Each structure stands twice: as structure tokens, then as C-alpha cells.
Amino acid sequence: MTIDKEENNQIGLYKSIEDLSKEDEEYIDTLPKQNTYGVLALISGGISFMFGPDIWILPIITILYALVSYRTFDKNKEDNPLTFFVGIGMSLAGLYMFIIGQHHTM
């Protein structure tokens, strides 16, 4: 089954960015984005949760990084600060597991 370009435009499917109209590009630019520092805090929070029970410094570094970089969050341009909070929460869980001596079991 082949779908030609006119059918794609009618149902809203685009194969590449060149198929978008100017109005669509402008609309996409107005949508809120994720803060890259928050995404990095989320990823490092996951790493701290995985390896925090063995390497205690990772959760501490992640918590400090997330708290300091939270100040870069702009409510007008970005979606939500949840990535910072989830990263901090996972880091706290990894640090807590280190403190009580618990480890992940597989």
C-alpha cells in the first residue's frame, strides 16, 4: 500500500521536515520544550539510582547538580520541571540504599 504526498498532508503524516508548511513549523516552535539540564539531571539520577548503592558520590553529585541547574528552568519556554524532581528522587533513593547497605538484586 502506497500513500502519496497529498494523502499524507490530509491525514497529518509527514515523511520529513521539508513536507511541513510554514504554519506547522511556526506552531512547533511555539510548543514548550524540555530543559536539557533537566533531562541530564534525570539521566544522571537514573545512573545514581543504579550505581549509588556502590558508589556513594554519584547521588550526591547528581543532587547538587540538579539543585543548581534547576535555576535555569524557564516556565515560559519549557514544559515542566518534573525531570529535575525525578532525577533528585532517584538520586535520593540511591543514596538511601547506600546508607542502609541495600543493593539491587537481579
Residue 7 dihedral angles phi and psi, to the nearest 5° = -65, -35
Q: Please write the tens of the pLDDT for every residue from 6-32.
A: 554 455 565 666 677 788 778 888 888
Write b or e for each residue in 34-69: b if 16 or more Cβ atoms lie within 10 A of its Cβ, otherwise e: ebebbebbbebbbbbbeebbeeeebbbebbebbeeb
Q: Please write the tens of the pLDDT for every residue from 45-98.
A: 999 999 999 999 999 999 999 999 888 888 778 778 888 999 999 999 999 999
